[in-house]
Amino acid sequence: MGVPPTSSLLGLDRGEITALVSEAGEPSYRAKQIMDAVYRQRAETLAEISTLPQEFRERLAQSGVTTGAARIEKKFVSVDGTVRYLIAFADGQSVETVWMPEGDGGEAGDGSEAGAEAESSGPGTSGAKVPSAENEPIAALKRCATQNRAPQDERRQAHGRSTICISSQVGCAVDCQFCLTALLGVKRNLTAGEIVGQVCAVLKDQKVSPPDDRINLVFMGMGEPLLNYENFVKAARLLVEAVGIAERRMTVSTAGIVPRIRDFGGEAIRPKLAISLNASNDALRTRLMPVNKKWTLEMLMAAAREFPLRTREWITFEYVLLGGVNDTPENAREAAELLRGMRCKVNLIALNPGPGIDFTTPDAERVAVFQKILREAGIPAFVRRPRGRDIYAACGQLKRTVEVSTSPELQIQSISLSPTPEV
């Protein structure tokens, strides 16, 4: 068949699967059958693709073709409902993927449908009012239209705020000083199939299925997506075209890889952009994020200001607040000046602690003062709710932790699906 050994169907786009089917001498409609089975039905083995003749499945297997389905090796369930998955790959490496049943407020204020849902989801997401492009009569019509939702729409609403946080690399090379993932270093890039595979595995485990269920997706797990650019972009395209997740419900976070931010702006299928700011001046940002030595704040802000935004789209800036380091009123005023005049909003994240991190979580009062200064400067600012801190699933905590030490009252549920891997 000319198929490379151990070739994975997951990660192939329609054109590549069509070529595989053609080379095998099969009718062209087999490509759609494979696409549906792998991306929508999330088949884990060739034997499960019952729409294909057994003889064809056997030939695929003999040629080394597999579905490439991701394997959930272990999962931890938080008291707040967040689930941290440890997902293993054939070479012994693993990454983490997080399911947040009610999100963490990170979408709030970005001007999208998902953002509106996050904005109204409760405490922890309040911020400056974001101007709406809709006038009141149109908004009123939309409200009327939602009063007679079909059952399918009600089902979508039930999952409207659920978010999957996925990884793009094994480890991370960016070396942010406040992030547990940085302690791993970088092992390798994930393939497009391994990125998409995380999503498919979680969707199957949670028994949800886009587009019937509206799921938000954030590339904010382990790794820097823009340092794995080609695989990340292909994965995003497959998640939209094959899995059924709308690009307006997808966000990618970058530490500030300036040339790739410019490339990203020209992509036909493009998730929303989030930039990890985390400091208000170059000296502080270089201390906290060594990537700033190569791409300074001036370069980063220029790329952000030139980024082509769609109607009602906003750039998100993420700012991790470190007690006594970058959380002073002066830092807030400097940050406001950096962002003045931009179509943006700020997500404030009080540091999620972890072993080996030499920073502390600021008091809630300092967070509130920081947010107030930004809001008074006219910049929408939202405080992301910590989700899954007790199981090391919160922002900056992903380090493939397989032993979670905690106090009894947290009652963490650990579910092992196979022997614990060495990390």
Give catalytic residue positions: 96, 395
Pairing mode, strands 344-350 and 315-321: parallel
**Contact between 416 and 74 (Cβ < 8 Å):** yes
**229-238 helix and 192-206 helix, angle to the nearest 10 degrees:** 40
Output the CA–CA distances (angstroms, integers) from residue 75 to 78, 147, 404, 415, in the order listed.
10, 38, 11, 5
How is residue 201 written in tokens? 């595995």
Q: Nearest CA to 275 among 342, 327, 331?
A: 342
Number of H helices, E strands in the chain: 13, 13
CA atoms within 13 A on the CB side of 422: 2
Output the CA–CA distances (angstroms, integers) from residue 386 to 121, 173, 333, in the order listed.
14, 24, 24
- Residue whose tokens read 């962002």: 339
- Phi then psi for 98, rounded to 5 degrees? -120, 135
120: left (phi > 0), else alpha (psi -120 to 50), else beta?
Answer: alpha
- Residue whose tokens read 């890039």: 189
The whole-angstrom separation of Cα 318 and Cα 321 is 10
The torsion angle over the Cα atoms of residues 84, 274, 176 and 333, rounded to 10 degrees, is -120
207-213 LR contacts (CB < 8 Å, sep 24+): 208/159, 208/162, 209/40, 209/244, 210/243, 210/244, 210/245, 210/246, 211/244, 211/245, 211/246, 212/152, 212/155, 212/156, 213/155, 213/156, 213/158, 213/159, 213/162
Residue type, 120: S
The whole-angstrom separation of Cα 61 and Cα 47 is 10
The whole-angstrom separation of Cα 48 and Cα 38 is 10
Other CB atoms within 10 Å distance of the CB of residue 141: 10
**Contact between 392 and 84 (Cβ < 8 Å):** yes
